Structure 1
Amino acid sequence: MTQRTDVLVIGGGQSGLAAGYHLRRLGIEHVILDAQAGAGGAWQHTWDSLRLFSPAAYSSLPGRFMPAQEGEVYPDAAHVVAYLADYEKRYALPVQRGVRVSAVHRDGDHLRVETDSGDWRARAVVSATGTWTRPFLPAAPGRREFQGRRLHTVQYGSPAEFAGQRVIVVGGGNSGAQIAADLAHAGTDLTWVTQRPPRYLPDDIDGRALFDAATARRKALDAGSTDTGGVASLGDIVAVPPVRAARDAGLLPAKPMFTRLTPSGAEWADGTFTEADAVIWCTGFRPALAHFASMRLRGTDGHIATVGTRAADEPRLHLLGYGDWTGPASATLIGVGRPARDAAREIADLLGR
C-alpha cells in the first residue's frame, strides 16, 4: 500500500530536522524518513575526540539554542547527538526511523519515493541525506597494493586502535588535521601527508566567521559581484584547541603527497620511503544522491543543479545540507536554518498555501 503526504523529507539529521521545523511552523503536512536507528544523523558515527568548530550558542538549529556543554567551549559529538534528539522531541517532528529510501520517481503531479518499507507519494520532496555515507577515496597509485589497514575518516575511532603502529594520515583539511593531532597527542608514529602545505586559519577564527564568510560569498555571487572566495580564501584548517596545541608543540610536520603506495608503505618523489601499518584517508565526501538516479538530474560534477535549494529541473524537489551549492554553509548546524526556511516557503507556494 502506498502512503501519502504533502512533503516527504529524506534524512533525519540536522538538515532534515531544520526542514521539519520550518514545515511545521507553516502548518505543512510532512514526514521525515531516516535510515538511522536513532537520532543524531552522522554525528552518531564520528571519531571520539571530534569537537565542533564553534561554541554551542553559535552551533544551533532554528528555534532552539544548543545548550553549552559543561567544561567545554567547543561541544563534542555526543553533546550534538543529545541536542538533536532533544530538538526532534521538542518540536514533535514526525520522524520514521530505520527506513531506507532507494529511489525517487516522477509520478504525474506527485513524486513517488521507494523505500524498504513501502512506497510514498508526495507533492514535494526535500532531500537531506548529506555526504557521510559517501566517503571519497582518490585513485592514488598503489592504493590497492598496500597490505596494511586502509580506512577513511568515517572508520576512524580513536588512537587506541593504532597503539604501537605506524600511521599515515592523508589530507590537509579539518578532518586530516584533527585526526593527525589526535594521533600525535597519543604518541603514535605519525606521518601526515598533504597536497600542499597546511593552511591554518587565524587562531581567533571559528565557525562563526566561517558562516559569515560563506554568506558574504553567496550574496556577492547572487548580486553578480566579484567572488570573495568565501571560506577557502581564509584557509583550510580551523585551529581548534587540540590542533593548535599539536601544531605549536611541533607535532604536526606535514610531508608532501607521496608518489605511490607499496605493499608496506609509501614512496616519495625524492626516493624516500616510509613503512606503515595503516593509512587513513581524510579525503572528503561526495553527496549521497543515488536515490535520484532515475530522474537524471545530476551533472558531471555529481551535483544536481539548483536555484537556491530547489532543483533547477524539478520544482518539486529541494536539497539541503550538501554544501554551499544548496545554501551558504548549509552543511553546518548554524548554516542550514536559512536554506531550510527558504525551502519551506517555496514549498508552501508550490502547494498554494
Structure 2
Amino acid sequence: MADKTFDLILIGGGQSALACAFFLRRKEIDYIILDDQETCGGSWKQTWESLTLFSPPEHSSLPGWQMPESEGEFPTKEETIDYLCQYEDRYDFPIQRPVKVKSIDKKEGMFTLETTEGQFNSKTVISATGTYKNPFIPEIPGRDKFEGKQLHSSDYRSPEEFKDKKIVIVGEGNSGAQILAEISKVAKTFWSTKEEPQFLPDDVDGRVLFDMASAKYYAEKKGEKYDSTKFNLGNIVMVPSVKEARERDVLHSQGQIQSITKEGVVWEDGSCQKVDVIIWCTGFGYSTGFLENLVSIDHKGKIPTDKTKAKETDGLWLVGYGGWTGFASATLIGVGRYAKQTIKEVSEYLKD
C-alpha cells in the first residue's frame, strides 16, 4: 500500500494491539493492524498445550468485553485463543495477515514500513509485538557440544515426545515449574535454577497480583512509593499442575549448570549427569529488531521510552512489553490502561 498513507499502523495482532484498537473505535484515525501470524490468537498459538492463565475470566479480559466463563478455574490455551479471535471479530478491526514488518524508516515526518507484502506508509506507529519471537538462551560453556536435543520453552508443546527420557529443565520461573510439573509424570527430570525457586502462597493467583500491580500503578501516578514487599511478583504461581507436582515431591532444584558436555550437564559441585534433552525456560528478549533504523536497541531489545512513548523518535509508541512499558502491561487485564493512554497521545500528536 505504498500509494496510501495511514494515520497509524499497529504492528502485531495479539492482545496489546487489540486493546489499542478498542480505544481507536471512536477516533477519526485511519489505521491498520499488521500481524505476522497466519490466524488470530497472537502468541498463544505458539504456547504449550496445557498452558492456562493465572486468573479466572473476570480478571483476564481486554477492555470492553469480558472473557466468557471457562470450564475450569483458569482459562485454557484454547479458551484464550477463542476469546482473542472473538474479540477481534466482535469489533471488526482492520487486520491484515500474514504481514511481517522487516524494517521501518522515517523521513520528513513519515514512517515507511518495509514488509513481506510491500511498503506501507504511516504518520504514526505503535509496536505491539511482545516477546515471543525473541527467545533467550544463556551461553553456558559447552552448550554447542551437546549431542542430545535442546529446545526453548517457546518450542515446547506437550510431554509425550519426552516419555522415558532424562530431561534437564532450566529456569526458576513459572514456565520452568509448569513444564517440569507435566514432564516429570512421564520422564526422569532434573530442575536447574540460578536461585532456590520461590513459590507464592497457594491462595495467591493473578487476581491478587493484578490488585498489587494496580496499587503500584496508582501510587506511582501520585508520586508515592509503593511497598511491594508482601509478595514478589516474579515468584512461581501455584497453579493446579504445580500443586500436584509438589505433592509428588518433584519441585526440587539441582542448582546451576556449570557446563555442558556432549552427553549431559555438569552441576556446580562438579558432578555429571547424562541427559537426553535440555529445555531452556529462560525467558525472552523483546521483539523489536525491526525498529533498529529508528532507535537505539539494547541486547534484550529494549529501547528508551517515556512510559509507552519512544524518546528518540516522535510518532512511535510501544505497548504491552511488561514492566518496561507499563507495570503488568503484558497481561490481558493490565494492558488496557496503557493502550487507552497511548491512543490518547497518538490522537493528540496527529492533531498537532
Tell me which moved more, 267-276 or 141-150.
267-276
- Tell me if structure 2 keeps the 8 A contact 1:217–1:230: no
- Tell me if structure 2 keeps the 8 A contact 1:53–1:240: yes
* Code of the aligned partner of 2:50: S
Structure 1 residue 326: Cα displacement: 0.9
Question: Within 1, Cα distance between the matches of 2:231 and 2:173?
Answer: 11
Question: Within 1, Cα distance between the matches of 2:229 and 2:308?
Answer: 19
Structure 1 residue 138: Cα displacement: 0.3
Question: Within 1, Cα distance between the matches of 2:186 and 2:83?
Answer: 33
* Code of the aligned partner of 1:209: V
- Tell me if structure 2 keeps the 8 A contact 1:213–1:231: no
Alignment of 1:155-234 (within 5 A): 155-184=155-184, 186-226=185-225, 228-229=227-228, 233-234=232-233
Against the structure 1 CA distance between its residues 231 and 180, is the aligned structure 2 distance closer, same or farther, given a 3 Å change threshold?
farther
Question: Within 1, Cα distance between the matches of 2:234 and 2:24?
Answer: 36
- Residue 146 of structure 2: SS of its match in structure 1? coil
Task: Tell me the residue number matched to 2:128.
Answer: 128
- Residue 60 of structure 1: SS of its match in structure 2? coil
- Tell me if structure 1 keeps the 8 A contact 2:289–2:301: no
Structure 1 residue 230: Cα displacement: 7.6
Structure 1 residue 298: Cα displacement: 2.3
Task: Tell me the residue number matched to 2:76.
Answer: 76
Alignment of 1:1-353 (within 5 A): 2=2, 3-70=4-71, 72-184=72-184, 186-226=185-225, 228-229=227-228, 233-299=232-298, 302-352=301-351
Which structure 2 segments of 5+ residues have no match? none
Against the structure 1 CA distance between its residues 265 and 226, is the aligned structure 2 distance closer, same or farther, given a 3 Å change threshold?
same
Q: If the length of structure 2 is used for normalisation, what is the TM-score?
A: 0.95
How much is the aligned-residue C-alpha RMSD, in angstroms?
1.8
Structure 1 residue 233: Cα displacement: 2.6
Tell me which moved more, 165-174 or 199-208.
199-208
* Code of the aligned partner of 1:271: G
Name the count of aligned residue pairs: 351
- Residue 314 of structure 1: SS of its match in structure 2? coil
Tell me which moved more, 152-161 or 300-309.
300-309
- Tell me if structure 1 keeps the 8 A contact 2:162–2:186: no
Q: Deviations over 1:80-125 (max 9, x none)?
A: 1111110000000000011010111112122111111111111110
Structure 1 residue 267: Cα displacement: 1.1
Q: If the length of structure 1 is used for normalisation, what is the TM-score?
A: 0.95
- Tell me if structure 2 keeps the 8 A contact 1:299–1:305: no
* Code of the aligned partner of 2:134: R
Percent identity at matched positions? 42
- Tell me if structure 1 keeps the 8 A contact 2:215–2:226: no
Question: Within 1, Cα distance between the matches of 2:28 and 2:91?
Answer: 13
Which structure 1 segments of 5+ residues have no match? none
Against the structure 1 CA distance between its residues 39 and 230, is the aligned structure 2 distance closer, same or farther, given a 3 Å change threshold?
farther
Question: Within 1, Cα distance between the matches of 2:300 and 2:98?
Answer: 30
Question: Within 1, Cα distance between the matches of 2:100 and 2:88?
Answer: 19
- Tell me if structure 1 keeps the 8 A contact 2:256–2:267: yes
Question: Within 2, Cα distance between the matches of 1:76 and 1:271?
Answer: 41
- Tell me if structure 2 keeps the 8 A contact 1:13–1:41: yes
Structure 1 residue 254: Cα displacement: 1.4
- Tell me if structure 1 keeps the 8 A contact 2:112–2:120: yes
* Code of the aligned partner of 1:144: D
- Tell me if structure 2 keeps the 8 A contact 1:21–1:62: yes
- Tell me if structure 1 keeps the 8 A contact 2:160–2:186: no
